[in-house]
Structure 1
Amino acid sequence: MFRSLPPPPDLVHAVEAGVRVDLPPDTPGQGHAGHTLFPALPHAMLTVTWPVAVPQTPPAPVVLFHTLSTRPTRHDHPDGLQAVGLLVRPAAAACLLGAGPGVLTDAVLPWVAVAGPAEAATLAEALCRAHSTAQRLAALTASLRRSLARAAPPQRWQTVARLCRGVGRHGLAATTALGLGPRQLQRHCQAYLGVSPKAFERLVRLHGALSQALTQAATPGAGPLRGAALAQDAGYADQSHLGRDLRQLAGGSLGQLLAQAQPEAAHWPLAWRARHAAPGGAHGLATGRPTVLSDGG
C-alpha cells in the first residue's frame, strides 16, 4: 500500500522523506477507506498522482504542491490512488514559495504556480517518459532539486533555515537568538511561513509529539506509552494541552490516532509515519538499506 523512502543525500536538508502510495479503489466490505486524513503539518508536500485504472488515452500525471497546513485535511479518492511524494521541510518550502504578504497556507497549488512554466514542462516531459514508480519519483526529485537551486541560494537558505529552527524550538522566545524584535519576528514568520511564530511552534511541537508516540508504539519492547511523559518530553504544559492540540490539529485523541495508524485506515499517513519512525523502517528503493532520517527543519 505505501512505502517509506529516504531522500537522496544531497536533499536531506530539504526533504524529510519520500513515499510511494498504491491504494485500491474503495470497495464495500473490503476495508478500504476511500479517503485519506492528514494531520496539520509544518511541512509541505510535493506529489504526483496518476490513475489506478489506465484508460485507452491515459491523462498526464497531476503534480501538486501542498503548502503548510494548520488543520487536519481530508482527501477523497474513491477510485483509488497511485502516487509518489516528497515531504518537504519547512525551510525548503518557504524558499520555494518566496517571501511576501501573500504566502499561502492550507493550499494545494499546481506545481507550475510554484516552479514556473519551464520547470513544470520539463517535469511533465520526464513523467511522460517514465515507465515505473521509481522513475516517476526520480523525475519528481530532480524537479525539486532544480527548483531549490534557483529559489534557495546559500544566503537565503541560511536565513530561512535559521528562522525555522529558532521559531520551531522557541516560538516567540526566539527573538534573542535571531536578533529580531517581537514585531520583526512576527513579520518574518508571516512573510516566509504564512503563520505567526506561536502557530509555527505549535505545528512543530505536534509533529514532534506524534513522531515520538508513533516511534515508541512501533518499537518492540518499548513499554506502554504514557501521555503525561509524552507531553512533558514534547514541550507541552501538561497532558490536557497535548490532548487539545491532537484533537484540533490531528483530528483525534492520542489513543484514536495510534489505533487508526493502519495501512487500510483513513489515517494511513500515520501508519507511514510509524513505519518510517520504527528502527530499520525506512529503506532505499535502490539499495534496500535502512536509513536514519532526521526531523530538523
Structure 2
Amino acid sequence: MYQERPSRVAGAVLWTRTVGTGEGGPYRVLPDGCMDVIWCDGDLIVTGPDTRAHVAQTPAGARFAGLRFAPGQGPGVLGVPAYELRDLRVPLDAVWPGGTARRIAERIGDAADPGSALEDAVTGSLPGTGARREPGATDPLLAATASRLASGGSVAAAAEAAGLGERQLYRRSLAAFGYGPKTLARVLRLQRALELARRGTAFAEVAVAAGYADQAHLAREVKALAGVPLGELVR
C-alpha cells in the first residue's frame, strides 16, 4: 500500500509504502526532477535526480518511508550539489557523517511512525542522533524556473524571466536539479503526459496538451525516458 501527504519539511512530500505478500518484485521509478531520502527496513539511501527510469527490486513485506523533495530543493537539505547524485542511489552516510546516518536509521526503525521520524531527522529534531542544521532554502529563481518548465514554458522564456542568460541558467541548474533546464523540461513534460494519460485522455490529445509536436514525438520521448511505451506505463 502506498500513501503520501505534504511534509512538515516545507515543499516536500512524505510517502510511505508497505509491500504486501505476493506484491514484491521489480518496479519502475520514472524520472521526475526530484531527489528523495528513503528509509527501508533499517537502511537509509539518497536517490539523485534521474535522467531515465530506474528499475528496482522490492521484497514482499518491505516497509518504506521517504521524503521526496521538489526539483531544486534537495541540495539545500542534503548539502550536496544535485549533479553529484545524478542517476545514483547512495547510502545516506555517503552524504552525511556515517555515525549520524546510522543513529538516524536506528531511531527511525524504533519509531511507531517511521515517516514522522524521518521528517524529524531531516529537520534536526530527532532525539539522540546529533544536531542537524535546518534545511537550506531553495533558490527562488530556480524554484520559479522549475515551476515555469512544469507548466510547459520554454527554457528561453524561463531564462528571460529569471534575468539570466541560458548558459548561466544551465550552470545553476546543474547544482540545483542535477542537469540542465532542457533535460528538466523533458522530464517534467513526461510527468504531465503521464498524468493526462492516466486520466483516460487519448494519446493524441495527450501529445498536444503536454506540448509534444505530435503523437510520434510523445512515443519517442516516453520510450527514451521511461524505457517502455506509454500504454504499458498506464496499465
Compute the TM-score of the two structures, normalised by the length of structure 1. 0.67
Q: Alpha-carbon deviations, 1:138-190, whole Å to 9, x = none?
A: 1112223349963414xx54244234324444342111101001211111112
2:209 is the alignment partner of 1:209 = no
Q: Alpha-carbon deviations, 1:171-226, whole Å to 9, x = none?
A: 42111101001211111112222212110100011112112222x14xxxxxxx31
* Residues 99-248 of structure 1 aligned to structure 2 (within 5 Å): 100=81, 103-117=84-98, 119-130=100-111, 132=112, 135-146=113-124, 150-153=134-137, 156-168=138-150, 169-173=152-156, 174-214=158-198, 216-217=199-200, 225-248=201-224
1:152/1:19 CA distance change after superposition, 3 Å: same
1:46/1:6 CA distance change after superposition, 3 Å: same
Q: Secondary structure at the match of 1:170?
A: coil
Larger displacement relative to structure 2 (248-257 or 94-103) = 94-103
* CA root-mean-square deviation: 2.7
1:94/1:209 CA distance change after superposition, 3 Å: farther
Indicate if the aligned counterparts of 1:43 and 1:87 stay in contact, CA closer than 8 A: yes
Q: Secondary structure at the match of 2:51?
A: coil
* Residues 27-106 of structure 1 aligned to structure 2 (within 5 Å): 32=23, 34-50=25-41, 61-78=42-59, 81-98=62-79, 100=81, 103-106=84-87
Identity %: 28
Q: Alpha-carbon deviations, 1:103-152, whole Å to 9, x = none?
A: 3211112123334446424523422432x4xx111111222334996341
Q: Distance in 2 between matches of 1:148 and 1:236?
A: 43
The amino acid across from 1:66 in the alignment is: T
The count of corresponding residues between Structure 1 and Structure 2 is 227
- Aligned partner of 1:57 in structure 2 is none
Q: Secondary structure at the match of 2:73?
A: helix
Indicate if the aligned counterparts of 1:98 and 1:192 stay in contact, CA closer than 8 A: no
1:20 to 5, 17, 21: 17
Indicate if the aligned counterparts of 2:38 and 2:44 stay in contact, CA closer than 8 A: yes
Q: Secondary structure at the match of 1:18?
A: strand
Q: Secondary structure at the match of 1:144?
A: helix
Q: Which structure 2 residue ranges, 5 or more long, are not aligned?
A: 125-130
Structure 1 residue 45: deviation in Å? 2.2
Q: Alpha-carbon deviations, 1:203-260, whole Å to 9, x = none?
A: 011112112222x14xxxxxxx31111111112121111111211212222222212x
Q: Distance in 2 between matches of 1:76 and 1:39?
A: 14
Indicate if the aligned counterparts of 2:12 and 2:69 stay in contact, CA closer than 8 A: yes
Indicate if the aligned counterparts of 1:47 and 1:63 stay in contact, CA closer than 8 A: yes
Q: Distance in 1 between matches of 2:44 and 2:81?
A: 24
Indicate if the aligned counterparts of 2:11 and 2:69 stay in contact, CA closer than 8 A: no
Compute the TM-score of the two structures, normalised by the length of structure 2. 0.83
Structure 1 residue 78: deviation in Å? 4.8
Q: Distance in 2 between matches of 1:46 and 1:101?
A: 13
Q: Distance in 1 between matches of 2:197 and 2:132?
A: 32
- Aligned partner of 1:257 in structure 2 is 233
Structure 1 residue 3: deviation in Å? 2.4
Q: Which structure 1 residue ranges, 5 or more long, are not aligned?
A: 25-29, 51-60, 218-224, 260-297
Indicate if the aligned counterparts of 2:222 and 2:228 stay in contact, CA closer than 8 A: yes
Q: Distance in 1 between matches of 2:84 and 2:207?
A: 31
